[in-house]
Amino acid sequence: MYPPTYNLRIEFFQPFEYMYLILKIFKKKLSGCNLSFLFNLLNYAFLICLGLIVGIYSLWKARQGIGDTDTAFFLEVIDNTLRSGLPTTFAVRAYLNIAPYLDMAVAQYCSSDFSAVMDSSPANILLGHANFIVYPLSVISYFFGPEFTAAVANTFSFVGLPLVAYVYLRKTKVPSYIGFLFMIALCAHPAWRISAEGWFYFDRMFMPLALFYALTLHGAIASRHELTGLRMLGTALIVIVGASIHERAALLLLMFSLSSLILYVGAPKRNIRFVLVVSLSLCVYLSVYLLFQKNIDNQAVYKSFYSFDTIIENVFQPGLIKLIYFNLIFFSLAIVFQWRVALLALIMLLPNIIVTMHGLEKDGWFTHYHSFYFPFIVYAGLIGIVSLSEWCQRERNESVYQWLCRLCPSGFLILVACAMCFQNPYGKIIRWDFEYINEGLMGSLIDLYVVPSQFSSNLYEAARADKLVALIHPTASVAQTPPFNTWKLLKNKNLVSVFPVGLGRVNYLLLYFEKNEDNLIQFRINSLSKDYREMQKCITEKVWTAGYKEELRVDNMMLLRRAE
SS3 524: coil
| pLDDT tens for each residue of 483-497 | 888 899 999 999 998
C-alpha–C-alpha distance, residues 398 and 375, integer Å:
36
Distances (CA, A) of 148 to 88, 124, 241, 462: 19, 23, 20, 18
Residue 13 clears pLDDT 50, i.e. is over it: no
Q: Is 505 helix (H, G, I), strand (E, B) or coil?
A: coil
378 and 212 in contact (C-beta within 8 Å)? Answer: no
Is the per-residue pLDDT at 378 higher than 50? yes
Amino acid at 488: K
Banded pLDDT at 50 (limits 50, 70, 90): very high
Note whether 174 and 385 are within 8 A (CB): yes
Ranges of H-type helices in 393-472: 400-406, 408-421, 441-449, 457-469
476 Cβ neighbours under 8 A, 6+ residues apart: 494, 495, 506, 507, 508
Residue 183: closest CA among 193, 173, 172, 194: 193
Enumerate helices (H) and strands (E) in the chain, giving the number of each: 26, 8
Helix or strand holding residue 478 (H, E): strand 477-480
Mean pLDDT of the 431-438 span: 79
- Cα–Cα distance for residue pair 331/377, rounded to 1 Å: 6
Q: Tell me: the pLDDT tens digits for 137-155?
A: 999 999 999 999 999 999 9
Q: For the residues of 342-375, what is the DSSP string, one character each?
A: HHHHHHHHHHHHH--STTHHHH-TTSGGGTTTHH
Radius of gyration of the chain (CA): 27
Distance CA 503, CA 496 (A): 12
Average pLDDT over all residues of the chain: 85
- The answer to whether the CB of 68 falls within 8 A of the CB of 199 is yes
Q: What is the pLDDT of residues 60-80, one digit of tens each?
A: 999 988 877 788 889 999 999
Alpha carbon dihedral 363, 365, 366, 368, in 10-degree steps, equals 100
More confident residue, 117 or 476: 476
486 touches 69 (CB < 8 A): yes
Q: Residue 399 above 70 pLDDT?
A: no
Q: What share of the chain is helix, strand, coil (3-state, %, to 5)?
A: 65, 5, 30
Q: Which amino acid is at 373?
A: Y
The kind and range of the H/E element at 241 are: helix 229-243
Q: Give the per-residue pLDDT at 92.
A: 81
Question: How confident is residue 294, by pLDDT bands cut at 50, 70 and 90?
Answer: low
553 confidence band (pLDDT: 50, 70, 90): very high
Residue 352 CA, distance from chain mean position: 13
Residue 400 is predicted with a pLDDT of 53
What gap in Å lies between CA 368 and CA 14, rounded to an integer?
51
User: Which residues does residue 550 pair with via DSSP β-bridges, in sequence order?
Assistant: 560
- Count CA within 13 A, CB hemisphere, residue 483: 10
Rounded Cα gap, residues 323 and 189, in angstroms: 11
User: Does the pLDDT of residue 564 top 60, yes or no?
Assistant: yes
User: Closest Cα partner for 559 from 467, 492, 496?
Assistant: 467
Mean pLDDT for 241-247 is: 94
The mean pLDDT of 264-268, rounded to a whole number, is 88
Average pLDDT over residues 187-211: 93
pLDDT at 457: 86
Q: What is the pLDDT of residues 82-129, one digit of tens each?
A: 888 889 888 888 888 888 888 888 888 888 888 776 777 888 888 888
Give mean pLDDT, residues 6-19: 46
Average pLDDT score over residue span 425-450: 83
pLDDT score for 117: 67
Confidence band, pLDDT 50/70/90 cuts, at residue 160: very high
Beta strand pairing call for 508-515 and 477-480: parallel
pLDDT band at 530 (very low <50, low <70, confident <90, very high): confident
β partners of residue 88: 124
Looking at residue 103, what is its pLDDT? 81
Give 398 or 533, the one with higher predicted confidence.
533
Confidence of residue 5 (pLDDT cuts 50, 70, 90): very low
Asked whether the beta carbons of 78 and 137 are under 8 A apart, the reply is yes
* Cβ–Cβ under 8 Å, residues 242 and 206: yes
CA distance 198 to 146: 18
Mean pLDDT, residues 361-387 taken together? 91
What are 279-289's pLDDT values in tens digits? 999 999 999 98
CA triplet 195, 198, 203: central angle to 5 degrees? 65
- pLDDT > 90 fraction of the chain, expressed in percent and rounded: 47
pLDDT value of residue 363: 79
- What is the reported pLDDT for 111? 87
Query: Three-state secondary structure along 369-404?
Result: HHCCCHHHHHHHHHHHHHHHHHHHCCCCCCCHHHHH
Given this model, what pLDDT does residue 282 score?
96
Question: Average pLDDT, stretch 294-317?
Answer: 60
* CA separation for the pair 64, 488 (Å, rounded): 7
Q: How distant is the alpha carbon of residue 128 from its chain centre?
A: 19
- Give pLDDT, residue 401: 56
Euclidean distance between CA atoms 340 and 330, whole angstroms: 15
Sign, CA torsion 140/142/148/153: positive
Most confident by average pLDDT, 98-107, 418-427, 504-513 = 504-513
| Alpha-carbon torsion angle 159, 160, 164, 166, nearest 10 | 10
Give the pLDDT score at 4: 44
Identify which has the larger pLDDT, 204 or 451. Answer: 204
Least confident of 25-39, 104-118, 250-264, 349-363: 25-39
Q: State CA 322 to chain mean position distance.
A: 15
